[in-house]
């Protein structure tokens, strides 16, 4: 499928937020997916993921959630402390507000199918995607990739009772944040609350196994996770 990609600016509560948008290059209506960055920003990898979803037939938007610290920051993978500091500078309230702006933008898009909105995210973005599922009206499905801190004190698992969208989760058995115990805790809480969820954990995979620009990339796990994610969104956003 032919796609087109561009940068847009969205007005948020305290300024302007850039977003990378990729969409099918046609005049038909499509479901939409919000793609949430890792702690390294809306970098080449996140843009590639956004374009991959567009090629599958989705209007895909990757908002720059670090915009209050600088526009479209691209943090090198080697600068982990800087990346963690930027992630730590965000708050649940500001993240929810920014994502609500993206949702309104998509609701106003004449080519976006209404009521067909997914969200996915990786690392920091996995936690934010889970947070969005607890807090934002209009999310139809969430794909959460190794979101650290979901089960931490004050993390979004505490608000899991408000989740109404089905969740699919992908985790590495060698990851420490979230650890396998964290994943079990999240799954058990969702089960106890009667929330629709499907979790997959991969032996030999660690944190960041989806990113083929990093040494953490695990091709077998990534390929399987892509296949399951496409099937999940195809089913939930049809």
> pTM of the full predicted structure?
0.98
For helices 92-107 and 124-135, angle between their N-to-C axes, nearest 10 degrees: 70
Give 77-97 pLDDT, tens digit per residue.
Answer: 999 999 999 999 999 999 999
Tell me how far apart the terminal alpha carbons of the chain are, to the nearest angstrom: 18
| 3-236, CATH topology level | Rossmann fold (3.40.50)
Q: What residues does each domain of the chain span?
A: 3-236
Give 159-211 pLDDT, tens digit per residue.
Answer: 999 999 999 999 999 999 999 999 999 999 999 999 999 999 999 999 999 99
Question: In percent, how much of the chain has pLDDT > 90?
Answer: 99
């Amino acid at each position: 499928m032919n796609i087109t990609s561009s940068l847009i600016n969205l007005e948020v509560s305290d300024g302007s937020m850039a977003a990378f948008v990729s969409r099918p290059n046609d005049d038909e209506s499509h479901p939409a997916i919000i793609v949430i960055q890792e702690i390294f920003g809306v970098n080449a990898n996140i843009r590639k993921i956004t374009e991959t979803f567009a090629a599958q037939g989705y209007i895909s938007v990757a908002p720059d959630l670090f915009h209050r610290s600088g526009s479209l920051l691209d943090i090198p993978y080697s600068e982990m402390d800087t990346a963690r500091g930027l992630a730590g500078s965000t708050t649940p309230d500001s993240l929810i507000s920014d994502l609500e702006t993206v949702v309104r933008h998509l609701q106003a898009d004449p080519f976006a199918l209404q009521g067909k909105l997914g969200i996915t995210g990786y690392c920091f973005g996995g936690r934010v995607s889970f947070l969005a599922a607890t807090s934002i009206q209009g999310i139809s499905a969430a794909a959460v990739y190794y979101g650290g801190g979901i089960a931490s004190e004050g993390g979004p698992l505490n608000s899991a009772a408000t989740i109404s969208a089905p969740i699919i989760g992908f985790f590495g058995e060698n990851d420490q944040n979230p650890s396998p115990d964290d994943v079990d805790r999240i799954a058990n809480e969702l089960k106890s609350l009667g929330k629709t969820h499907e979790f997959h954990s991969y032996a030999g995979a660690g944190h960041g196994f989806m990113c083929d620009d990093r040494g953490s990339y695990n091709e077998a796990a990534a390929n399987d996770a892509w296949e399951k994610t496409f099937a999940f969104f195809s089913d939930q956003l049809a």
